[in-house]
Amino acid sequence: MGLPARATVTPGMQKKMVWAGSNLGSYGMAEEALGKLADQAISLGRIRRQLEAVGQERIAERDQAIAALKSMPLPERRVGLVGQKAPALAVVMMDGGRYQRRDHFGCPPTDDSAPAKSHWRESKVGCLLSMMSETFESDPCPDIPDNIANAGAIREFAKMAEITGPNEECSSLDIESSPTVDKVREEQEYEPPKRLSCEVVATSHSSDEFGWMLEARARQLNFQAAPRQAYVADGAKTNWRIQRAHFPRATPIADLMHALAYAWSAADVADEPDMFPKWAQLIWQGDVSEVIGHLRALQPNPQRPDVNPVPADRLSKIERSLTYFEKNCSHMNYPDYRRQGLPLTSARIESTIKLINRRIKGTEKFWGKETSESILQLCADYLSDSDPMTRFWARYHANQTGSNAYKNDSKICNV
């Protein structure tokens, strides 16, 4: 059986190359898939160059929308689009993943004592969800479900919280790696809002630039005109800064699962029976100030140094949890969020980051800066329910006519 013939890059083949390079685990897997499924011999180098070129085109379109948004007066940015339907409930979620870049390869440290610059970078990912839910006169679920209060997944969250601080949240991929998390959410007695559609934004740029990207895409979806708006994230300060700057009308909500994880971590060293179920119920009911009071009581008393219920080597968990609740308590009014029909967890963004990380994260994967931005953009496009790539290809190929289309495609492949 002979090898597949070397492919001519037609418009249809372009689509296959970019899809395979963006969605499969590596360029090598994309090359193999095209050979076996499309019977075309296309090298991984050609796939990579095609993906980079198309990714840069999509980034240019994204940047145009951001530039238009930045040119608007602030009052205009805060109102919705006339004549376009807005979702009944607009929800923004954001978080960060991790991947490796080779920008600094070969660069010496800044001084003799400084370590070499890390190759790890953070990807910023956002989900813009159109949802629907009921609203209630009072809290529809005042008691925390047993399967949440006693879930083993909370213990896993807590272990990750021990590695990171209260302002530097752990990787969503690491948190979501256990199937226990999804099982907990599927079995919740409380019925969360129903997702209608989800659009994804992803970048390697700074958090400030990411905020503009989120707002620009949200404006295209007319989120600003939604009668109910929510912004769900973990406790990192960057998340709330973006919320205040770009989504001030959205109700800020600290992810419930992270809150319970910090409570579990502290209860684990308190040596008091049934402490976590008590704190979990208080958090569920929005009585976070009472949890804060309990945590403060576990700290050393300077006036009575001989009275210290927690050994010194275990106090860091108490202090970490206390800091988290003190800084995020204003975003933990969970009874009111349930009454308004708003989501309590950032499950969607966490699972989305896991999907993106399957493509870009790996011990053997080191990305160039421009290539990583291209692939993050395309991964986000293919994960979006509106299928923006179908509209992009229509625009892209409309700019090419007759035989020049193939000439231009060939040129693109060899950039």
The pLDDT score that the predictor gives to residue 300 is 75
The pLDDT score that the predictor gives to residue 334 is 97
Which residues, in sequence order, are CB contacts of 293 under 8 Å at separation 6+?
none
Q: What is the pLDDT of residues 213-252, one digit of tens each?
A: 999 999 999 999 999 999 999 988 999 999 999 999 999 9
337 and 134 Cβ atoms separated by less than 8 Å: no
Question: What residue ranges in 135-190 does DSSP mark as E strands?
Answer: none
- Which residue bears the tokens 């499969």? 24
The yes-or-no verdict on residue 414 having pLDDT over 70 is no
Q: Which position has the higher pLDDT, 369 or 85?
A: 85
Q: Which position has the higher pLDDT, 131 or 181?
A: 131
Q: What is the pLDDT of residues 386-399, one digit of tens each?
A: 999 999 999 988 88
Using DSSP, state whether 203 is helix, strand or coil.
strand
Using DSSP, state whether 119 is helix, strand or coil.
coil
pLDDT band at 162 (very low <50, low <70, confident <90, very high): low
**Cα–Cα distance, 253 to 256 (Å, whole number):** 8
Q: 367-401: buried (b, 16+ CB within 10 Å) or exposed (e) per residue?
A: beeebbbbbbbbbbbbbbeeebbeebbeebbeeee
Q: Which position has the higher pLDDT, 91 or 183?
A: 91
Q: What is the pLDDT of residues 218-227, one digit of tens each?
A: 999 999 999 9
Tokens representing residue 415 in the block: 């950039």
Q: What is the pLDDT of residues 55-79, one digit of tens each?
A: 999 999 999 999 999 999 999 999 9
Please give the full DSSP string across 292-311, using - where no structure is assigned.
Answer: HHHHHHTS--TT-TT--SS-
Q: What is the pLDDT of residues 311-325, one digit of tens each?
A: 666 788 889 999 999
Which residues, in sequence order, are CB contacts of 305 under 8 Å at separation 6+?
none
The pLDDT score that the predictor gives to residue 141 is 92
Cα atoms in the Cβ-side hemisphere of radius 13 Å centred on 4: 16
Q: What is the pLDDT of residues 372-388, one digit of tens each?
A: 999 999 999 999 999 99
The pLDDT score that the predictor gives to residue 107 is 59
Q: What is the pLDDT of residues 192-201, one digit of tens each?
A: 899 999 999 9
Q: Which of 134, 144, 126, 131 is nearest to 334 (CA)?
A: 144
Q: Which position has the higher pLDDT, 182 or 414?
A: 182
Give Cα 233 to chain centroid, integer Å: 9
101 and 245 Cβ atoms separated by less than 8 Å: no
Span of 147-161, 220-234, 293-307, 321-335 with lowest mean pLDDT:
147-161
- Which residue bears the tokens 């213990």? 155
Using DSSP, state whether 339 is helix, strand or coil.
helix
Q: What is the pLDDT of residues 263-295, one digit of tens each?
A: 998 888 877 778 888 999 999 999 999 999 999
Amino acid of residue 342: L
178 and 282 Cβ atoms separated by less than 8 Å: no
